[in-house]
Chains A and B, each alone.
Chain A
Amino acid sequence: MMFRQRERRKVPGLNTTSTADISFMLLILFLVASSMDLDKGIARQLPPMEKEQKQQTAVDGRKVIRLAIDANNKVTMDGKNVSMKDIRQRTEQFVNANGKSHLIQLQTDRKASYDTYLHVQNALVAAYNAVRNSKASDLFGKSFDLCSTEQQQQIADEVPIRVSEVYAVSANKPTTTEKGGAE
Chain B
Amino acid sequence: MSFYRGRNHEIPALNTASLPDLIFSILFFFMLVVHMRKTTVHVKYQVPTATELSRLVNKSSVQYIYVGYPMNEKGEAISKNIVIQLNDKITTIPAIKNYLLHLSASLPPEDRKALSVSIKADRRADMGTILDIKQMLREANVLNVNFSATMSHSIKY
A-side interface residues toward B, CB under 8 Å? 16-17, 19-20, 22-24, 26-27, 30-31, 33-36, 38-49, 69, 84-85, 88-89, 108-115, 117-119, 121-123, 125-126, 129, 167, 169-170, 176, 178
Contacts and interface: CB of A to CB of B under 8 A. Distances in A.
Given A88-B157, A169-B135, A39 B59 contact: yes
Nearest to A171: B128
A49 B35 CA distance: 35
B124 A41 contact: no
Interface stretch (B84-92, B98-106, B144-152): B144-152
Contacts of B27: 23, 26-27, 30
Contacts of A118: 48, 50, 123, 147, 149
Contact of A170 (B56, B124, B132, B137): B132
Contacts of A123: 157
B53 A19 contact: no
Given A33-B36, A114-B123, A40 B48 contact: no
Contacts of A108: 127, 131
19 contacts: A20-B19, A24-B23, A36-B33, A39-B56, A41-B50, A42-B146, A43-B146, A44-B146, A46-B145, A48-B143, A49-B139, A49-B141, A113-B126, A118-B48, A119-B48, A122-B51, A125-B52, A126-B51, A169-B132
B17 interface: yes
A181 B15 CA distance: 61
A41 B143 contact: no
Interface residues of B, number: 58
A40 B151 CA distance: 8
Given A23-B20, A47-B143, A114 B125 contact: yes
A127 to B, nearest CB: 8
A30 B127 contact: no
Contacts of B54: 40-43
B151 A35 contact: no
A144 B150 CA distance: 22
B34 A47 contact: no
A34 B149 contact: no
> Which 3 pairs show the lowest CB-CB distances between chains A and B?
A110-B128, A34-B34, A19-B20
A169 B130 CA distance: 10
